[in-house]
Structure 1
Amino acid sequence: MKIRSLVIAATLGLATALAGCTSDGTFKIFSADYGSVKDAGYRLPSIPISKVPRQYHRQIVSYDTKEKPGTIIVDTNAKFLYLVLEGGKAMRYGIGVGREGFEWSGTARVAMKREWPTWTPPSAMIGRQPELAKWRTGMPGGLSNPLGARALYLFNGSGDTGYRLHGTPEWNSIGKAMSSGCIRLMNQDIIDLYSRAEVGAKVIVKR
């Protein structure tokens, strides 16, 4: 009986491996993709990815949704962003979200995409942090820019929501609620998402 159980277990393990999916629904994990990156004249530092919980590493996972491929779904509670793929899969990214009082949810679309974007702090933020007034007309893109290497600008029927999907140099904020409402990803992840997401893509932010 023991030998038979071992054979059954081995067979199940082989079937899982052949299917390309682990028991937790992960098809592929990209933990090796967080090294230093040269981009547009900048040298992004490597991320000590071993210090980031594994669930927040970029990975292809099983994902059941009626939304069409290309849709972006943000789960602010779980701190995940999903880019819907074909065949019941999604590319999943770990995210940082808005802290208490700055949460946002709803449906929007990607109206614009920018590389190394300029960051302009809103007037309300300058009111809370007067030292940011020097960037009232915009902080140029760069390694210390809060928007990181890429930004996707979210609009809805009323126009610019003021919210962005963007990179951040603060990799240790992933998995936490620390932002002023925007959805932040590690810079290596926002570069990947930027290359996949289309202008006009539907974005659903859930709370």
Structure 2
Amino acid sequence: MATDSPPVLLTRRRFLNLTAMGAAAATVSACTTTAPPVPLKPAEPQAHPELGSYDIMYGPVFDGGYEIPAVPYRKIDSKFLRQIVPDPTGERPGTIVVDTSQHYLYLVREGGQAIRYGVGLGRAGFEWAGRAVVQYKREWPKWTPPDEMIARQPELEKYSVRNGGMPPGLMNPLGARALYIFQNNEDTLYRIHGSPEWHSIGKSISSGCVRLMNQDIIDLHSRVPGKTPIVVTNGLGARVASYDPSGTPVDAGVPEDSTLLGRATRSWF
């Protein structure tokens, strides 16, 4: 005849041992459970207090009867956003320095500082370097492609000098402002100008112009008078070559495959 097993008494010591074992098991379980990693949010670019916030700096602008759209600045490498930096150029205050090797434009200021802007530049073969001056400035300029450019792209004939050029506006390749670069009282046909094509900043995809975002060219235009000296160099400290108008292609002012004028039907070269 089977006999019942004697009941197991849960003594205080046994209770404490079981409790400790359960806690240890829970600890091991917790250590072996891996929570999904939380992606780190990229650091928000911070503007110099003197310049204001980037939301305002690159926000929509109402100017000259036109509404310039906001720039999605978070999609741009922050080094190309407008900022105040120690002056690396050694030029006197008030000088514009364009470093084509880094796609930067500096406006030298007093106190060893400079305002730096990101720029788009000309491709190899269409680059220019030298010392010159900003002969004059224009707000909402017309655009007239030079004859050499029309010879490469005949479809631009409708914007020739003979036809009055392209009127000012949001679709004009020179954007909201243009600075006209002269050397020895001769028009180099190069311009520092605006562009709504923010995605071209930091790249070399046009025919020699120096392009800034419209918000940046408006800011630069407001800070420089006529006859402002300008230095264009392929690397700070590099020898600045003399300008040779006979050996340098003229400025087109429009990025390749521009959304402003449509895809080029002929080569830029």
TM-score range, shorter chain: 0.7 to 0.9
Q: Distance in 2 between matches of 1:45 and 1:109?
A: 30
Q: Which residue of 2 aligns with 1:21?
A: none
**Is 1:145–2:172 an aligned residue pair?**
yes
Q: Which residue of 1 aligns with 2:128?
A: 104
3-state SS of paired residue (2:199): helix
Q: Which residue of 2 aligns with 1:86?
A: 110
1:120 to 129, 140, 144: 144
Higher Cα Rg, which structure: 2
Listed as ranges, the matches of 1:1-207 within 5 Å are: 31-32=54-55, 33-137=57-161, 138-157=165-184, 159-207=186-234
3-state SS of paired residue (1:166): strand
Taking only the aligned residue pairs, the percentage that are identical comes to 58
Q: Distance in 1 between matches of 2:78 and 2:91?
A: 26
Residue type at the aligned position of 1:70: G
Which structure has greater strand proportion?
1
TM-score normalised to structure 1 length: 0.85
RMSD: 1.3
* Structure 2, gaps ≥5 residues long: 1-46, 235-269
Task: Tell me if structure 1 keeps the 8 A contact 2:89–2:97.
Answer: no
3-state SS of paired residue (1:192): helix
Poorly superposed stretches of 4+, deviation over 3 Å: 26-30
Task: Tell me if structure 1 keeps the 8 A contact 2:144–2:159.
Answer: yes
Residue type at the aligned position of 1:93: Y
TM-score normalised to structure 2 length: 0.66
1:162 positional shift: 0.5
- Number of equivalenced pairs: 182
Q: Distance in 2 between matches of 1:64 and 1:57?
A: 17
